[in-house]
Structure 1
Amino acid sequence: MDVADLLTSAGINISVCVVAFSLYSVLRKQPSNACVYFTRRYISEAIRPDDPFSLRRFVPSAGWIMQAWRATDEEILEAGGIDAVVFMRIVVLSIRIFIIAAVICVFLVLPVNYYGKDMEHKNFRFESIDVFTIGNVEEGSKWLWAHCLALYIITCAVCVLLYLEYKSITKMRLAHITGSHPNPSHFTVLVRGIPWSQDHSYSKSVESFFSTYYPDTYVDHQMIYRPSTVHKLKKDAKKMYRILRPVETEYVRGDKPCYLCGGTAHTFKLLQNGEDSIRSQTSIDELHPTQIEKECPAAFVFFKNRYAAVVAAQVLQSSNPMLWVTQLAPEPHDVYWSNLGIPYKQVWVRKIVVLLIALAFVFVFLFPVTLVQGLTQPHVLTRWFPQIKGVLKLRFLNMLVTGYLPSVILILFLYTVPPIMMLLSRIEGNVSRSDRKRSACIKVLYFTIWNVFFVNVLSGSFINQMSIFSQIRELPMMLAKQVPTQATFFTTYVLSSGWASLAFELIQLFALICNILRRFILRSKKEPTNIALTFPHHTEIPRLLLFGLLGFTLSILAPIILPFLLVYFFLAFLVYRNQILHVYVTKYESAGQFWPIVHNATIFSLVIAVAVLAMKKSPMASGCTIPLIIISLLFNEYCRKRFSQVFKRNPAQVLIEMDRRDEQWGKEEGIYNRLRSEYCQLAYISRDLTISKDFSVAGPNRQSSTDHNSPQGADENSLKQESDSRE
């Protein structure tokens, strides 16, 4: 591929982005799309827009771009929590790093690559991309000092920026712990592997154990019940709802004791309009399960203070490590209830099975990746499909088939990966939704780095040399040789996977199609429910980190990719800010748990970039770059010792100070009274039983606490006024 073909591919993607962004600016103004593009506000307010017809609604505008640009970190924190701020920090960090890399590599490394060999150059538009890579520099050339110098500057800049970000996010996490309202999860320990006794129930065993060994700090406990029991209660509640639904009623929220969990479940009083009230007196006692038959060997145990809960969570409770296994409980909205009933002895078996399935999936995925690499090489493509030899003689079709089509095919295959990894993370037995998403994020990251980077690089050599597996010792040298030759494919991959994916993320194509079908095809007059989406960290973070790996590795070997990467990160900054402010809803908070993954992946990418250059057949490259690998690994170890432990455990010093503060302000009794009701299993299992748009059986949704800037009681024209002010 030459420069003209690359610019043509870039032009196609630029056209797609311009059309998508313009279409979005029109679609967001339509009142019927409020549930798609203003989801956060839509689910927190009773918006009934009645916007009169106006031509301005159909004219593209850039008001949303200015609003996303001007949004502050405080607004992002209020809308999406710490996880949203951390995600945006990843984007900003990438912009800073690759601005530095672009300035250095474009003005220092690129000229060295271009004039690396004594050859006659063509017109710039018809130059091959390979001329701008390190492959155009003679082996052992003295000009490799420029690459080493650029790599030193980039490495030092990355280490400094990573340290500052790690320090800042750690402070943010500690401030979240100390500054937030008393969190029930700080006082609660999840106990699994409770031993079975024929004499009494699991509940009695828990009470006896913790009353004996934690007599001064143990407060109470709450058993976990089998999901089938809770679903039976949910089914009965749905039947009652269908019976009461035809009555024109007004719903008022009230609290009743939950006889299953012992806490407080949110119920509703049905008030007849203009008449005496009709009260639904539901006796949950009739549905109360037999304790011994329905209890799971797991429970939430509540303690008097945070320090006692941390100690109980981290101490080995029994001489048999498989019994009385404790950990700090997830926050109530984060609990993944269906996995709590999994026996603890099955967890390690599940993890092994999931690992084997993931490895098998990686192996199966080698075939589409090899197919994609074959499409990038015309001589291989004509060998596989001789009938298209004449078609490839046409310049535009040749560029489309060998340059643009392979990356598109690979992207389509990769769309199947996140759902599969999320399913595997669920099978693993994670007890919290954030752990499940974080586990899926790691799996998707490993999968994409291996298949998109390493397999693409090595499969290109495998196609040309079928004896690759007989030359295992030459794989490192082969990697160093093949990476520059794949610069064209990776550049087009950034264009198609990066730019186009941001356009479709902005439009929310699936949600838009569902909304159109519901309104105009099915003619449904019901308000949509269950439309709240959480931010897809497990898909977006691996994509950012993969592009970071490509940027680090190719910034020295093929700097021509850097301008396209910078455009992607700038677009990501605007698009993701807009989505966090208006679309995605925060249901639970992991307080920045994704950042250690980002830090480790960035260091890994940096080491790979240095190692690839070190494997060049040049004493200068090897001698100058090997110390960089050692420095990078030592820096990573220092950050692991200095910061990462704060993301795994809460500091005792902070917790004790918070306990003393609660004692001085007399908050203990209020906290104790909340614990059982916050971990009411019936309420959270039945969250999808929506009786009205603003209330559900689960009680208030988490977004009500995050949407502080959404005015309550908006009138019918509120959406129009908001759109007008933004545009």
Structure 2
Amino acid sequence: MKIVALFTSAGINIGICAVLLSLYSILRKQPGNVNVYFGRRLASKRSRRTDLCLERFVPSPSWILKAWHTTEDELLAVGGLDAVVFIRIVVFSLRVFSIAAIICTVLVLPVNYYGQEGKHKDISFEPLEVFSIENVKEGSKWLWAHCLALYIITIAACALSYFEFKAITNLRLVHIIGSPPNPSHFAIVVRGIPWYPEVSYYETVRKFFSNYHESTYLSHQMIYKSGTVQKLKDDAELMYKSIKGSSFDQRCKPHLPQCFCGGPRNSFKMISNEIGSIHGRTAYDDVNIDERKKECAAAFVFFKTRYAALVASQILQTSNPMLWVTDRAPEPHDIYWSNLCIPYRQLWIRKIAILVASVVFMLMFLIPVTFVQGLTQLDHLQESLPFLKGILEKKYVGQIVTGYLPSVILILFLYVVPPTMMLFSAIEGSISRSRRKKSACYKVLFFLIWNVFFVNVFTGSVISQLSVFNRITNLPEQLAKEVPAQLINVYVTKYDSGGEFWPIAHNTTVFALIFTQIVALGVFGMKRSTVASGFTVPLLILTILFHEYCRQRFLPIFKDNSTQVLIDMDRRDEHAGKMEEIYDQLHAAYCQFTSATPDSDFSTNTRGQDLEGSNQVSETSETGNPQPKR
């Protein structure tokens, strides 16, 4: 690819960005799109009326300035800690990229460009190879520039990552301590409950925790099989038995039923199959539904203190690690309900199957990546498709084909990757949305590293290049040969993981640094610069030590809450007399079918309401008009 093709691609992308920003600036002002662009304001009843005027149809950058001047405290109040962490990840990435861009532009590119003696033609028509380290002579003393740049970029990235890790850790601690009482701090998830024919799962859980956690056990709530067909069947059965068991006068009068997870409702309600999910709490005790058929081998168990819940979630309950498996309970709105009933013994099989499916998917993606790689090389493309030779020889056609078309095609193919990885993570068995998203993030990262980098940088046919992996010890050298030769107004926050996504960004940064150093080590070896190679080895070791220090110093805070923090919170609530109020709210918070939000993360409309209605309950007001559940 020539530099002019790269500039053509950059120009087209900048033009498209300007057009899209202008369209956004216009469309967001239209009254018909207020649900799309101001969903949060609409949900909180803070939307404003827009009158018909010419200004609505003129692009303006005011929204960019307003978004730019939003403070971190404002963003934290509106979007939660996850939103703040996401923005900080973006800013952190821009900082690292800016430092690397400046260092490489000022220090590395000139050295590469003048690395070989001889004349240079017009820079617009120079091939990209002359700007890479490939253009530097073997044994050149100027390879020191590359080693120095590597040190500067690594030190800057590690320093920025350390300060971000420290700041986000403090934000997470403040978030945990300062937030209202969180039901998830008092609850654990228990799976792998043993089955006894003579008693129900409900009784089994009660007996076990009453016996082994007698002083701290509060209560529990079973998890039930759910699904559209099952719900319709049980609704019909429940309504039939309810009508059959009541008198004519009772049937003709409106009832004021009591929701099984909350208080009375002054409205009619479609009763779902979970009406008997909490023993002794339903107003329909006379309705005999076989609950044991619907019980799963999983339950939420509630404890009297946060500390007791933390201990119970971390210790081994029995000598058989496949039974009575405990884990921290996700936030109520973070629960992925459909996965809670997956048998625990089945999870390892699912993980292996998803691993195999992910590998197969990555290998299948070689086809579009190979095609895209071919588009960047006109000579190979003309040989494979001779009938395009005349068209490709035209100046601007060749620049567009080699500089812009490959990235467009690759991006279009990449659109299917995140949904696919989200599906894989759901099938894998994650019991919370945040864990499913984190798992999907890692899968997407591995996918991009393999398909977009490893495969894409090896020029020519992928099949013909497979031989480079014959000796794994030659991988740095092979990479060294091949590399030089080319996300405030819309979303309504449903749950907050407390910034648990930041370690993914940190791990990715460290991986990129280590990988870059390994490639540089291979390059310096090829260029016969023993001094540069010798200085790269300590940098590699120091980067690994830095990563291990961050893992030991900060990562545990993102995995578990500390005993000190939880006990202080327990004592604070006890002194304030809030514990009884918290206990009363636990069952309502983890109500499976009325408090739960849908399992789909892609089913939220612009008003912040849930479109997937399998777990939603419709209500009719006293006037008889349907009212959406808020």
**Helix, strand or coil for the counterpart of 1:390?**
helix
Match of 2:540 in 1: 629
After superposition, residues 406-421 of structure 1 pair within 5 angstroms as: 406-421=406-421
Q: Give the counterpart letter for 1:163 in structure 2.
A: Y
Q: Give the counterpart letter for 1:623 in structure 2.
A: G
1:487-540 alpha-carbon deviations (Å, 9 max, x no partner): xxxxxxxxxxxxxxxxxxxxxxxxxxxxxxxxxxxxxxxxxxxxxxxxxxxxxx
Q: Following TM superposition, by how much is the alpha carbon of 1:462 offset from its aligned partner in structure 2, in angstroms?
A: 4.4
Cα distance in 2 for partners of 1:699, 1:466 equals 52
1:280-312 alpha-carbon deviations (Å, 9 max, x no partner): xx9755776322221111110000000000000
Residues 337/283 of structure 1: CA separation in 2 closer, same or farther (3 Å cut): same
Q: Give the counterpart letter for 1:635 in structure 2.
A: F
Q: Does 1:639 align with 2:550?
A: yes
Q: Does 1:65 align with 2:29?
A: no
Cα distance in 1 for partners of 2:392, 2:13 equals 22
**Helix, strand or coil for the counterpart of 1:615?**
helix
After superposition, residues 118-517 of structure 1 pair within 5 angstroms as: 118-228=117-227, 231-232=231-232, 257-259=258-260, 263-264=261-262, 267=265, 269=267, 289-460=289-460, 462=462, 467-468=467-468, 470=470, 473-486=473-486
Cα distance in 2 for partners of 1:174, 1:215 equals 30
Q: 2:560 aligns with which of 635, 649, 665?
A: 649
Match of 2:252 in 1: none
Q: Following TM superposition, by how much is the alpha carbon of 1:268 offset from its aligned partner in structure 2, in angstroms?
A: 5.1
Match of 1:596 in 2: 503
Q: Following TM superposition, by how much is the alpha carbon of 1:475 offset from its aligned partner in structure 2, in angstroms?
A: 3.3
Match of 1:86 in 2: 85
Q: Greater CA deviation, 451-460 or 37-46?
A: 37-46
Match of 1:673 in 2: 584
Cα distance in 2 for partners of 1:39, 1:234 equals 35
Q: Kindly indicate whether the alpha-carbon contact (under 8 Å) linking 2:593 and 2:616 is maintained by their aligned counterparts in 1.
A: no
TM-score by length of 1: 0.75
Q: Kindly indicate whether the alpha-carbon contact (under 8 Å) linking 1:40 and 1:585 is maintained by their aligned counterparts in 2.
A: yes
Q: Following TM superposition, by how much is the alpha carbon of 1:463 offset from its aligned partner in structure 2, in angstroms?
A: 6.8
Name the Cα RMSD after superposition.
2.8
Q: Greater CA deviation, 96-105 or 40-49?
A: 40-49
Cα distance in 2 for partners of 1:657, 1:133 equals 57
**Helix, strand or coil for the counterpart of 2:267?**
strand
Residues 139/585 of structure 1: CA separation in 2 closer, same or farther (3 Å cut): farther
1:524-565 alpha-carbon deviations (Å, 9 max, x no partner): xxxxxxxxxxxxxxxxxxxxxxxxxxxxxxxxxxxxxxxxxx
Q: Does 1:662 align with 2:573?
A: yes
Residues 318/472 of structure 1: CA separation in 2 closer, same or farther (3 Å cut): closer
Structure 1 segments unaligned to the other structure (5+ residues) = 241-253, 272-281, 487-575, 701-727
**Helix, strand or coil for the counterpart of 2:12?**
helix
Match of 1:587 in 2: 494
Q: Following TM superposition, by how much is the alpha carbon of 1:695 offset from its aligned partner in structure 2, in angstroms?
A: 8.8
Q: Give the counterpart letter for 1:95 in structure 2.
A: L
Cα distance in 2 for partners of 1:430, 1:266 equals 34
**Helix, strand or coil for the counterpart of 1:586?**
coil
Q: Give the counterpart letter for 2:456 in structure 1.
A: N
Residues 127/328 of structure 1: CA separation in 2 closer, same or farther (3 Å cut): same
**Helix, strand or coil for the counterpart of 1:683?**
coil
Q: Kindly indicate whether the alpha-carbon contact (under 8 Å) linking 1:3 and 1:129 is maintained by their aligned counterparts in 2.
A: yes
**Helix, strand or coil for the counterpart of 2:474?**
helix
Q: Report 1 or 2 for greater relative contact order, CA contacts < 8 Å, sequence distance ≥ 6.
A: 1
Residues 47/232 of structure 1: CA separation in 2 closer, same or farther (3 Å cut): farther
Residues 314/472 of structure 1: CA separation in 2 closer, same or farther (3 Å cut): closer
1:374-421 alpha-carbon deviations (Å, 9 max, x no partner): 111112111211111111110111111122111111111111111111
Q: Give the counterpart letter for 2:401 in structure 1.
A: V
Residues 209/110 of structure 1: CA separation in 2 closer, same or farther (3 Å cut): same
Cα distance in 2 for partners of 1:256, 1:346 equals 39
1:170-206 alpha-carbon deviations (Å, 9 max, x no partner): 1111111111000000000110000001111000000
Q: Kindly indicate whether the alpha-carbon contact (under 8 Å) linking 1:234 and 1:686 is maintained by their aligned counterparts in 2.
A: no
1:217-251 alpha-carbon deviations (Å, 9 max, x no partner): 101000001114873389669999xxxxxxxxxxx
**Helix, strand or coil for the counterpart of 1:316?**
coil
Q: Kindly indicate whether the alpha-carbon contact (under 8 Å) linking 1:222 and 1:301 is maintained by their aligned counterparts in 2.
A: yes
Cα distance in 2 for partners of 1:463, 1:218 equals 60
Q: Kindly indicate whether the alpha-carbon contact (under 8 Å) linking 1:480 and 1:613 is maintained by their aligned counterparts in 2.
A: yes
Match of 1:609 in 2: 516
Q: Does 1:41 align with 2:41?
A: yes
Cα distance in 2 for partners of 1:98, 1:52 equals 43
Residues 426/662 of structure 1: CA separation in 2 closer, same or farther (3 Å cut): same
After superposition, residues 5-24 of structure 1 pair within 5 angstroms as: 5-24=5-24
Q: Give the counterpart letter for 2:503 in structure 1.
A: P
Q: Give the counterpart letter for 2:66 in structure 1.
A: Q
Q: Following TM superposition, by how much is the alpha carbon of 1:468 offset from its aligned partner in structure 2, in angstroms?
A: 3.7
Residues 256/673 of structure 1: CA separation in 2 closer, same or farther (3 Å cut): farther
Q: Give the counterpart letter for 1:679 in structure 2.
A: Y
Q: Give the counterpart letter for 1:659 in structure 2.
A: D
Q: Kindly indicate whether the alpha-carbon contact (under 8 Å) linking 1:191 and 1:325 is maintained by their aligned counterparts in 2.
A: yes
Tell me the number of residue pairs that the alignment of Structure 1 and Structure 2 aligns: 578
